Structure 1
Amino acid sequence: MRIKSALGVLSVICLLGAVAWWLTYTKSFAPHAVFTTLKGERLTIAELKGKPVLITFWATDCPSCIEEIPDLIALHQQFNEKGLQIIAVAMPYDPPSRVQALAKERQLPYAVALDIDSSLVRAFSDVQLTPTTFLIDRQGVIIMHKVGAFDLLSLKALLAQL
């Protein structure tokens, strides 16, 4: 009986060790990326470390992306003072003039960046579909990667923990 108990305890210890290893070594850190906003600001992931960062890849011809704009504005209003930085990255195929017009028309209060050379799309695992959203914690770890429209309540819950 003692041998079975010892094997059981050993199995649990091994399992916990495997889980701890997995959690430690499978963290996905945000890539070293440089964003140039419509206002000419230069933002880098390294400079934003210590703040939660929400990055959304979008397009002006994407209905779901346009539907998310009020939610992004609400998130900005609720969490900006707590350090949240939102960066909306326009897809490379989106004409800059159309991006600028929509940002002005909708009075977007958060950063909007162009990705003319596709470097941001590539840096974030070759984003293909819009919207695609990433939430990066204060340590630079990607804690959410969502393809398609995000769930506002779930995202608010995650942000409240950061």
Structure 2
Amino acid sequence: MSTSSKAWIKPALAAAVIAGAGFAAWMSLNSAPAAPQVTFTGIKGERITPTDLQGKVVIVNFWATSCATCVAEMPEMADTYNRFKGRGLELIAVAMKYDPPNYVVNFTETRQLPFKVALDITGEAAKAYGDVTMTPTTFVIDKNGKIVKRYVGKPEFAALHQLLEKALKG
């Protein structure tokens, strides 16, 4: 091979390296983190496992009965759940470890919350989800088990509903 016939190799190799680096950068920006593989304990002692949630869009909402914003958003969480549950949405409201279990049970029953409510007695779930300390903190997880959105504070429910529409189609 002559030198002139090899002239294309360096530019082609450089282009391939640049394209690969660009793709890697795009993937790192566009790949959502996987949701922690946490087994939740419901208020009646039932276990809610990662296997139970496979293939569903899941909202995990960390809250407390002593959190005014959490209490205020619960009717909208219930409405959101009722609106999307028939299309594959699961919602788990996870009470923080400092929330007395009897308060959580009383709140759940008197408000007739339609979704699963779990107790995080050891704080393991909050720790697994990035050491959640602020309430409410809400995660939206897609059908592939990836966290697609994290809200700290009350979500903007119109935007949340748009996100759920998209996630439930995917």
Distance 1:107 1:140 in 2: 28
Letter of the structure 2 residue corresponding to residue 81 of structure 1: G
Query: For the Cα contact (< 8 Å) 1:59–1:130, is it kept in 2?
Result: yes
Distance 1:39 1:110 in 2: 13
1:17 aligns with 2:17: no
RMSD of the alignment, in Å? 2.1
1:41 corresponds to which of 46, 54, 73: 46
1:137 aligns with 2:137: no
Give the structure with higher Rg (CA): 2
Partner of 2:8: none
Distance 1:33 1:125 in 2: 12
Q: State the secondary structure of the residue aligned to 1:150.
A: coil
1:51 aligns with 2:56: yes
Distance 1:17 1:160 in 2: 28
Alignment of 1:3-152 (within 5 A): 10=15, 13=19, 16-23=22-29, 26-152=31-157
Distance 2:27 2:93 in 1: 34
TM-score normalised by structure 1 residue count: 0.88
Distance 1:40 1:125 in 2: 24
Q: State the secondary structure of the residue aligned to 2:51.
A: helix
Unaligned runs of 5+ in 1: 1-5
Q: Deviations over 1:16-52 (max 9, x none)?
A: 424433146x430001101111133211123311000
TM-score normalised by structure 2 residue count: 0.84
Unaligned runs of 5+ in 2: 1-10
Distance 1:108 1:12 in 2: 52
